[in-house]
Amino acid sequence: MSDDDAVSGHYRHGDLLGAIEAALGRLGKTTDSLTIEDLAPVDEFHIGGRRATENFLDQLDFSTQDHVLDVGCGLGGASRFAASRYGMSVTGIDLTEEYIETGNVLCRWVKLNDSVTLQRGSALSMPFEPGTFDGGYMMHVGMNIADKARLFAEIFRVLRPGASFGVYDVMRRKAGQLTYPVPWATEDSASALASPDQYEQALRDAGFIISKQNNRRDFALNFFQELRVKTKAKGGPPPLGLHTLMQESASEKLRNLVDGIAADCIAPVEIIALKG
């Protein structure tokens, strides 16, 4: 099995669209009246959800004229939010075919299929011409890609000069053994964590200029604490959420993730860069 197949297999659900439709029914929602806010609990598979996406993308200064690349787009939640928020066009690429197929259906449901295009492919070898995109970003993607140098060189290739590029990934803070599974891997051999310094070096080697780095550890711990309180108050998780994606392993994966962040072994970190 190739690394791509292993990564795709880790995220494969089996009936993701059916699970989302069933959850929406329990929420009293129909596909005719659906909004991207309704989808937000399941749509953004990264720490902090929609709040994290807003904070991250607002730093990239995208405009309505831009065509932006979403690397490792998953279901395309951030793509849809970016298109809706900034009025630009977004192309997303992801390895997991089920995510792409489901995400394109969700785009049609919320009537964003004209401005958001999701397609299956590898971030290490993208089917785009050099200088295609006016900007780009990746959110919780690099933990599945060991070859950061090749990743950022390929992203650099498809961005135009002067383009903004942002990374929001879980990164290694200090030595220490994580407990698995976590949302991106079932065991250590499938995880490709790297430190912020290693990310910045790979970005610079590709030709990017680093403008800022933000450690979002405190934000993450507060987010998960609020999530615990809300879940307890409601007597369990809502019909639609990250558990829809991770199914019965959700609580264990999230618990191990939070333990790693609390121990400061890992943290979500933002890096904002520019194609020089």
Write out pLDDT tens, residues 205-214.
999 999 999 9
For 43-100, the pLDDT digits (tens) are 888 999 999 999 999 999 999 999 999 999 999 999 999 999 999 999 999 999 999 9
CATH superfamily of 3-120+132-275: Vaccinia Virus protein VP39 (3.40.50.150)
Strands (E), the chain: 67-71, 89-94, 116-120, 133-139, 159-172, 208-215, 266-275
- For the stretch 141-165, pLDDT in tens is 999 999 999 999 999 999 999 999 9
Identity of the amino acid at 261: I
What is the bridge-based pairing of β-strands 89-94 and 133-139?
Answer: unpaired
| CB 79 within 8 Å of CB 70 | yes
Q: The pTM is what? A: 0.94
In 3D space, the residue among 125, 110, 25 whose CA is nearest the CA of residue 75 turns out to be: 110
Higher pLDDT, 239 or 132: 132
- Kindly list the domain boundaries of the chain, sorted by start residue: 3-120+132-275
The mean predicted confidence, pLDDT, of the chain is 94
